[in-house]
Amino acid sequence: MKSTLGNQSKPSSAGRQGAVRDNAATGDWAALRAAGLSGPVEFKGLLVGEAEAVLKAIGEPRYRARQVLEWIYRRDAASFAEMTNLPASLRERLAAVAGILRLAPATKNVSPTDETTKYLFRLPDGEAVECVLIRYRHWASACVSTQVGCRMGCAFCASTIGGLVRQLAPGEILDQVLRLQALTGQAVGRVVVMGTGEPLDNYEATVKFLRLLHEPYSLGLGYRHITVSTSGLVPGIWRLADEGLPVTLAVSLHAPRDDLRRRLMPVAKRWGLDELMGAADAYTSATGRRVTYEYTLIDGVNDGRREARELADLLAGHLAHVNLIPLNPVSERTFRPSRPGAVREFQVSLDRAGVPATVRRELGPDINAACGQLRRSSGRGRAPGRTGKGPA
């Protein structure tokens, strides 16, 4: 019988290269598993030490990690193929075992009055998150979200109506900033963590995001250009004070006495004003930073002379600044914003008492710029029940 071996065709060059790539990828997967890393590895959200561990696991020199992260964070690379200072073989191997997250814009609203720009971004699992670019004369500020939904239950807020859906990963928070820069062409000089969600309820991801913002291979923002807002999670404030990150702390106060604050904010049922002010003072002692107290003015609820006097008494002797915020109405809520005259009178009362106070410029009321409004108007965030329990 005539042998057929001599008639078998040799593998093509492309086929041999494909087999080599497949074998390399198989080896890389095994190496990552051996190093305790599950794949695919998401690079957006990694600190340089974590990226070095990935590169080391697949036998590459550690310095490649910084090169990869600079492409992702500083050059906004969407794929490893764009990283032209890396060997082509390494780019192919990384593409086989790793990914680079990129949020997809779903909705964009631009205010015709002040050019405030709000985006709703789609996440890989189909959920949505919103963020805002706020333009000032000399810089632009990004307001980012840390959760999909929120479980704090504040009585005047749209974010919490559908409850908490899930936490955001550090890379999902950071990519909001990167996408705002890429889509608007505006460099972000300041970041406020005041979007949807309670940052200290997603503590680890929030702190990692803060570190990533500051790293020189990322955006290189100074910590003093970053503000973190909290509804008053006292243990989280104490933890943040020990992190060595001198960011500005903004405490959502909204009432100068416990009974009223409990009506507006369920978190106040767990930690009273004495505990909250003690934690804020500890933050000031640890960081040297003045604490900002956010106070949303609600008509007939917390905007009277009594409340102004009580707020001045509460903050006397503290290194504090009050940010007065006219309420942004939410259709599902019955609260209404204070009259302009009442806002001015409240501010003057604080100033006379020696408490510095400013009225926040109203930004984007015509584009659903308040937390949670754009997501809800898109049909998301309308779940009939909450996910997770609040702090009450």
pLDDT tier at 365 (50, 70, 90 boundaries)?
low
Give all strands (DSSP E) within the chain, no chain letters. Answer: 41-42, 98-99, 104-110, 117-122, 128-135, 140-143, 147-149, 164-167, 190-193, 226-230, 248-252, 291-297, 320-326, 357-359
pLDDT at 193 > cutoff 70: yes
Catalytic residue among 130, 172, 294, 307: 130
Show Cβ contacts of residue 216 under 8 Å, excluding neighbours closer than 6 positions. none
d(CA 388, CA 392): 12
Mean pLDDT of 369-388: 49
Q: Read off the DSSP letter of residue 256.
A: S
Token pair 């794929």 is found at 79
More confident residue, 383 or 185: 185
Q: Which CATH number fits domain 104-377: 3.30.9.90, 1.20.1530.20, 3.40.50.2300, 3.20.20.70?
A: 3.20.20.70
Q: Which amino acid is at 262?
A: R
Catalytic residue among 143, 150, 157, 371: 371
pLDDT at 175 > cutoff 50: yes
pLDDT at 4 > cutoff 80: no
- In the chain, pLDDT over 90 holds for what percent of residues? 76
The structural architecture, per CATH, of the domain 21-99 is Orthogonal Bundle (1.10)
131 a catalytic residue: no
Q: Which two tokens stand for residue 211?
A: 């570190």
pLDDT tens for each residue of 74-111 = 999 999 999 999 999 999 999 999 999 999 999 999 98
Q: Which amino acid is at 229?
A: S
Burial class from Cβ neighbours inside 10 Å (0-12, 13-18, 19+) for residue 39 reads middle
d(CA 146, CA 127): 13
From 339, 330, 325, select the one nearest 295 (Cα to Cα).
325
Q: 61 preceded by cis ω (within 30°)? A: no
pLDDT (0 to 100) of residue 42: 96
Q: Is there a contact between 308 and 281 (Cβ–Cβ < 8 Å)?
A: no
d(CA 236, CA 213): 20
Q: Is there a contact between 103 and 356 (Cβ–Cβ < 8 Å)?
A: no
From 277, 272, 274, 183, select the one nearest 237 (Cα to Cα).
277
130 a catalytic residue: yes
At residue 121, the 3 state secondary structure works out as strand
Show me where the domains of the chain are located: 21-99, 104-377
Q: Which two tokens stand for residue 302?
A: 């917390």
DSSP string, 353-365: TT--EEEPPP--G
pLDDT tier at 385 (50, 70, 90 boundaries)?
very low
